[in-house]
Structure 1
């Protein structure tokens, strides 16, 4: 059965692995006391390293094409404890971490919707659920997005690529333009197009 009108097309987090967190706070989360972010090696159709502002690898993002959309896995360390917004950005360029990863451009938004998974006038193709980092700064998640594809020739396959950006704060899924998520703290650049 399909979700009515695909209002919830970008699914809730299906798995979270949290370091240093000994209790479960959500029905859709699995918690762990892992001290380091799990490897995503060998999973997915495409992957890229997440870089911090100093240009150091801090995690990975891997994408798998699905019959309708993309399945994404994220594994990251070095975050502050708490919820962090995550979005898909227009340009696959993470070379300016010291300047806040601004080279990655704005959100992917071909339909020109408003930002926010909870916004009745939204949501953008770039919008994703938040991820949670435990006390050790490690977070891992698996997310689904039906607005984008690795095989339809859309914005993920254009000539300038795209980026997955992790923010310093939670996305409230309503406030324009980025849900109050704050600065960009990690970035993964993808170049899958021609």
Structure 2
């Protein structure tokens, strides 16, 4: 097993271990993405999980620079290297402003920063806002959705994208 594969497995195990009771375990995996860098190297995985009317994004990333990185759902399921601009802007079906600190509040594609440790790995799970039916319809629309990790942190306020810098990893969300 490669070091990267071991890190991804360990991160996924940590996500499951963080659950406090059996009731907290997701009922269903509804989607997944394999994240890759511009050079094609694996950068982690993301899972869409459903528990009742709650949809969560669970991500395990490897090989990134330590520190905070913006990560978002992007409007188009296309990850063409080297810059991943093919993924379009943030997934924003309600045409809201960007960021939890903006006066209009965040949109569907806004997620909290991913914190990468000194070992160059990160994992987190984030609940998406809205009904499961609406979220899944927006994610699995005709042109799909991508998950993008940026080079720098999201400032949670700059519209339209949080000033998070270049796109360093991308994965297309596929239905499970």
Answer whether contact 1:114 1:176 (CA < 8 A) is retained.
yes
Answer whether contact 1:70 1:150 (CA < 8 A) is retained.
no
> Does the C-alpha gap of structure 1 residues 69 and 146 become closer, same or farther in structure 2, counting only changes over 3 Å?
farther
Shift of 1:66: 3.0
Q: Does 1:134 align with 2:105?
A: no
TM-score normalized by structure 1? 0.73
Long gaps (5+) in structure 2: 1-5, 17-27
The alignment covers a number of residue pairs equal to 157
Distance across 2 between alignment mates of 1:191 and 1:148: 19
Shift of 1:45: 2.6
Distance across 2 between alignment mates of 1:131 and 1:123: 16
Answer whether contact 1:77 1:138 (CA < 8 A) is retained.
yes
Shift of 1:44: 2.5
TM-score normalized by structure 2? 0.80
Hey, what does 1:63 align to over in structure 2?
48
Hey, what does 1:19 align to over in structure 2?
none
Q: Does 1:172 align with 2:143?
A: no
Hey, what does 2:105 align to over in structure 1?
122
Hey, what does 1:188 align to over in structure 2?
171
Aligned-CA RMSD value: 2.4
Long gaps (5+) in structure 1: 1-34
**Helix, strand or coil for the counterpart of 2:72?**
strand
Distance across 2 between alignment mates of 1:107 and 1:58: 20
Answer whether contact 1:158 1:192 (CA < 8 A) is retained.
no
> Does the C-alpha gap of structure 1 residues 158 and 176 become closer, same or farther in structure 2, counting only changes over 3 Å?
same
> Does the C-alpha gap of structure 1 residues 135 and 81 become closer, same or farther in structure 2, counting only changes over 3 Å?
same
> Does the C-alpha gap of structure 1 residues 86 and 73 become closer, same or farther in structure 2, counting only changes over 3 Å?
same
